[in-house]
Amino acid sequence: MVCVGSKAIGPKGSRQNGLIDGGSDDSSHKKRGRKDKGEKPRKGGHGSSKGPSVGKPQHGKDKKQRRGDDGKKGKGRGKDHGSGSSVVMNPGNLRNQDALPSSSTTKPVQNVLRKRVDPETAKYFMEISNLFDNKEIDLDERSTICANALEETRGKELELATDAVISHTLQVLVEGCELEQLCTFFRNCIGSFPVIAMDKNGSHVAEAALKSLATHLADETSKTMIEEILNKICKVIAADAANVMSSCYGSHVLRTLLCLCKGVPLESLQDFHTTKRSAVLAERLSCSTNQSSGHGPKNFENGLSDMFKSFVREMLHNAKADIATLRVDKNSSLVLQTALKLSSGDDNELYHLISILIGYDEDGTVEKRDYSDKKEEIVTLLEESAYSHLLEVIVEVAPEELRNGMLVGTLKGALFAISSHHCGNYVVQALISSAKTSDQMNQIWEELGPKIKELLELGKTGVVASILAACQRLEIYRLESSQALSAALSSDSESPDSIVAHILFLENYLRERSYWKWPLGAKMSVLGCLMLQSIFQYPHQYIRPYVASLLALEDGQVIQISKDSGGSRVLEAFLGSSATAKRKFKVFGKLQGHYGEIAMNPSGSFLVEKCFTASNFSHKEAIVAELLAVQSELSKTRHGFHLLKKLDVDRYARRPEQWRASQTSKETTLRQFEVELVLTVNLLPKISKTSSFLKVPRRSISRRSLTKLLRMPASGQQNLRRRLQRENQAARNLQGKAPAWHS
């Protein structure tokens, strides 16, 4: 029976010998599992639960030995912890906790023997575990039991947190207890926290406790208590920063701690533990003029900014002697990347961090440095995967002045060599995507523009795709890049109409160039499709060969493109391009009769919607009629249900005349808006300087923007029309007497 409010479940003296640390049955661990298994590896990285020896820094070893310690083989950590196994910890950090530890505190004070979990304690926590597993307690009792059970851990936190079975129970306890008990647990284990964080089992307990602490950050009344605990944790971790960063498990806990200090919401933590290359690629190849690096400054509500800054600085100061090794270690590189991303927007901190990471001593002149003297070292280090990822983030978050200095100094003349490397090419992609001025793009094009064919042949298609996107974003070298890509993927013996086909199956074509044929049923190249999407955003005079090549494809090939996830986006980009309506209607003709089957694919449904929006009234009705034929099957899918509702297919089925009247009304309204908007924008090119509504340059209005206007309520449309009329009148009044800024 559970004695709620008491310290134990039954008297300890009456217990028989239970499970002990060395003899824990792993079967119960497998049955219960561990929450958030995907967050950290339980196998591979470290084969042992024994913490790394602080007395013999792991990061100072050669590459092979490092792999043994922190690599995938898991060697060098010993077997799973048994009773009486010893670990090294630094209890000296418990003293003088208000003072920041010096770098000398990274050395261990003494070796501490990890004690065996006594049978009574093991049995006690097994009973607690069974209570939670069997759901025998309600919410009111849960908090009390968690508090009592955590009280039992006093003085035994290290042994319990690193036990393969009890650590699961301890994780549940720190997640379910009140803030006061959680802070007490942290205070009691603060000296051994680095060892717990670097342990295979203890790291999960440490991370669960940190996340539980984060849930209370929004409570202003608790903030002082939380700051006190976090300050102590940061001090003890910073004192042994090199070892914690190098550990597979410690690295993960440290990244969570950094995010907690910065105030990152719990739901966003995963973004700093995993990198979605597809998301990074999509961001880099965005042609939007307001593109950000993806790590732009964010104002997290509950962050402790000063604590975060001092923690990062102290951590790097204590690990400075080993920074050369930490940069090329996978685990520590991830920590450094997280610190950089979280510092984005704070130029002073970034200058300081980047200067140390590139290899300079700390001083106050980092922003004035000429990084050219580090060129050879940086280019050589780019062969290391961990360092190349680190430099990617440096390039993305660096202040503009520093990034420009690296481009014209450190990397000048070496861009093609770096682009040719299997790791370094990602740094060049980041550099191209981060370019913000025509001068920067001039240097990039000067070095890489003439090498587009060689880059494609080397398989560095990501670099070429980044160049095309940057040319569109900065509106520079668009004609040259279009011609260079066309020349690289065609030959005298081939028709120029084959360009689009070659790009759609880019890797396949480059591999089988001499005997390549259109592959039926093959998946299209992701990067090739992204290149075409960038190309179709160029002005119409630059894309004529690509438009002609697309229209030269057979009907069956266009249907195959429409059913491919990347190919359908290419057709969407073409329909939104500056190509003439006549050419777009040729694509409609090739797709006609197949809209139903195209809409069955999630990506194809977006294409069908795009075709509907871009077509005339008669073609709209033809599309809806085709969808009506497959309505029953289409409505069973999530994307199909949305498409049927968007195109109002149900109304067309019940009352076709009413549907036609509705579409006619929308078309009329659309044309009225188009006339009024174009007149307002183009009547006086710089009228936007006197207008708070239309701050856009002289150009035609996209149909997509007009369609959004139609979704306004009737009253909103009426107000907008009145405002447009006032803008038009103002433009006419100013037309005859243009102000000085117009002339």
Distance CA 273, CA 218 (A): 23
CB 601 within 8 A of CB 560: no
Kindly tell me if the per-residue pLDDT of 627 is higher than 70: yes
More confident position, 669 or 170 = 170
Task: Indicate the SS3 state at residue 700.
Answer: coil
pLDDT band at 329 (very low <50, low <70, confident <90, very high): very high
Mean pLDDT of 685-694: 44
Q: Which residues contact 267 (CB under 8 A, 6 or more apart)?
A: none
Provide the greatest CA pair distance for the chain: 101
Instruction: List CB contacts of 473: < 8 A, sequence separation 6 or more.
Output: 286, 287, 288, 289, 291
In the chain, the amino acid numbered 230 is L
Nearest of 21, 17, 16, 8 to residue 165 by alpha carbon: 21
- Residue 130: how many CB atoms within 10 A of its CB? 13
Residue 68, token pair as written in the block: 């043994």
Structure tokens at 282: 């999509």
Q: Quote the pLDDT of residue 706.
A: 52
Tokens of residue 328, six digits: 């090329």
Strand pairing report for 110-113 and 86-89: antiparallel
Of 5-19, 230-244, 549-563, 670-684, least confident by mean pLDDT is 5-19
8 A C-beta contact, residue 358 and residue 393: no
CB 500 within 8 A of CB 553: yes
The pTM (predicted TM-score) of the whole model is: 0.72
* pLDDT over 90 (residue 688): no
Q: What is the pLDDT of residue 372?
A: 61
Distance CA 644, CA 258 (A): 46
The stretch 436-463 carries a mean pLDDT of 92
Alpha-carbon distances of 260 from 213, 231, 255, 606, rounded to whole Å: 9, 12, 9, 39
The whole-number pLDDT of residue 376 equals: 80
- Give the C-alpha separation, 491 to 114, whole Å: 71
Q: Match 């090199």 to its residue by tokens.
A: 242
Q: What is the pLDDT of residues 634-656, one digit of tens each?
A: 989 999 899 999 888 889 888 98
pLDDT band at 571 (very low <50, low <70, confident <90, very high): very high
Number of other residues whose CB lies within 10 A of the CB of residue 380:
10
- How many CB atoms sit inside 10 A of residue 487's CB? 12
Query: What is d(CA 562, CA 597) in angstroms, rounded to the nearest whole number?
Result: 10
pLDDT at 682 over 90: no
Mean pLDDT of 138-150: 80
**What element of type H or E holds 124?**
helix 119-134
Confidence band (pLDDT; 50, 70, 90) for 671? confident
**Cα separation, 253 vs 275, whole angstroms:** 17
Owner of token pair 């369609």: 707
Q: Taking residues 398-418, what's their average pLDDT?
A: 82
Tokens of 234: 């940061």
Is a pLDDT exceeding 50 seen at residue 54? no
CA distance 351 to 387: 18
Q: Which two tokens stand for residue 676?
A: 């009024």
Residue 519 CA to residue 557 CA, distance in Å, equals: 10
Percentage of the residues of the chain whose pLDDT score is greater than 70:
68
pLDDT at res. 724 = 62
Residue given tokens 């040719």 in the structure block: 420
For residue 622 the two structure tokens come to 């033809």
**Rounded distance, CA 55 to CA 107, Å?**
6
Average pLDDT over residues 671-676: 68
Q: What would the pLDDT profile of 494-518 be if each residue is shown by its tens digit?
A: 777 899 999 999 999 999 888 899 9
Give the integer Cα–Cα distance in Å for 574 and 4: 69
How many Å apart are CA 217 and CA 315, to the nearest integer? Answer: 23
Structural contact between residues 251 and 39, judged by C-beta atoms closer than 8 angstroms:
no
Write the DSSP string, 418-431: HHTSTTHHHHHHHH
Convert the pLDDT of each residue in 9-46 to its tens digit: 433 433 333 333 333 343 333 334 444 433 444 333 33
pLDDT of residue 713: 61
- What DSSP letter does each residue of 26-76 carry, written as one string? HHHHHHH--TTGGGS-SSSS-S-SSPPPSSS-GGGS-HHHHHHHHSTT-TT
Q: Which amino acid is at 547?
A: V
Q: Note the Cα 18 to chain centre separation in Å.
A: 46
Residue 304, C-beta contacts closer than 8 angstroms, at least 6 positions apart:
227, 230, 261, 262, 263
CA distance 600 to 578: 28
Q: Does residue 158 come out as left (phi exceeding 0), alpha (psi in the -120 to 50 range) or beta?
A: alpha
CB 602 within 8 A of CB 641: no
The predicted model gives 444-452 an average pLDDT of 94
Strand residue runs (E) in 48-191: 86-89, 110-113
Q: Specify the higher pLDDT residue, 385 or 135.
A: 385
User: Tokens for 313?
Assistant: 């600085």
Higher-scoring residue by pLDDT: 698, 285: 285
Please state, rounded to an integer, the average pLDDT across all residues of the chain: 76
Distance between CA atoms of 325 and 689, rounded to whole angstroms? 55
Could you give the dihedral angle defined by the CA atoms of residues 669, 671, 677 and 683, in that order, rounded to the nearest 10 degrees? -140
Spatial contact of 192 and 94, defined as CB atoms under 8 Å apart: no
Residue given tokens 């000398």 in the structure block: 104
| Token duo for residue 565 | 């996830």
Do the Cβ atoms of 327 and 381 come closer than 8 Å? Answer: yes
pLDDT tens, 346-377?
A: 888 898 898 888 876 655 444 445 556 677 88
Judged against a pLDDT cut of 60, whether residue 59 lies above it is answered with no
Looking at residue 14, its pLDDT comes to 36
Alpha helices in 406-477 (DSSP H): 415-419, 424-434, 438-448, 452-457, 461-474
pLDDT, one tens digit per residue, over 259-317 is 989 888 877 777 766 666 666 666 667 655 445 444 554 556 667 888 999 999 999 99
For residue 361, give the nearest of 302, 321, 305 by alpha carbon: 321
In contact, 507 and 462? CB cutoff 8 Å: no
Cα 148 to Cα 44, 166, 480, 521, 695: the distances in Å are 35, 15, 72, 63, 64
- Cα distance between residue 368 and residue 364, in whole Å: 9
The residue with greater pLDDT, 595 or 140, is 595
Closest residue by Cα to residue 593 from 561, 632, 625 = 625
Looking at mean pLDDT, say which of 128-142, 252-266, 668-682, 699-713 comes out highest: 252-266
Q: Is the dihedral of CA 735, 739, 741, 743 positive or negative?
A: positive
For residues 249 and 255, give the distance between their C-alpha atoms in angstroms, rounded to a whole number: 10
Amino acid letter, residue 689: K
CB 595 within 8 A of CB 611: yes
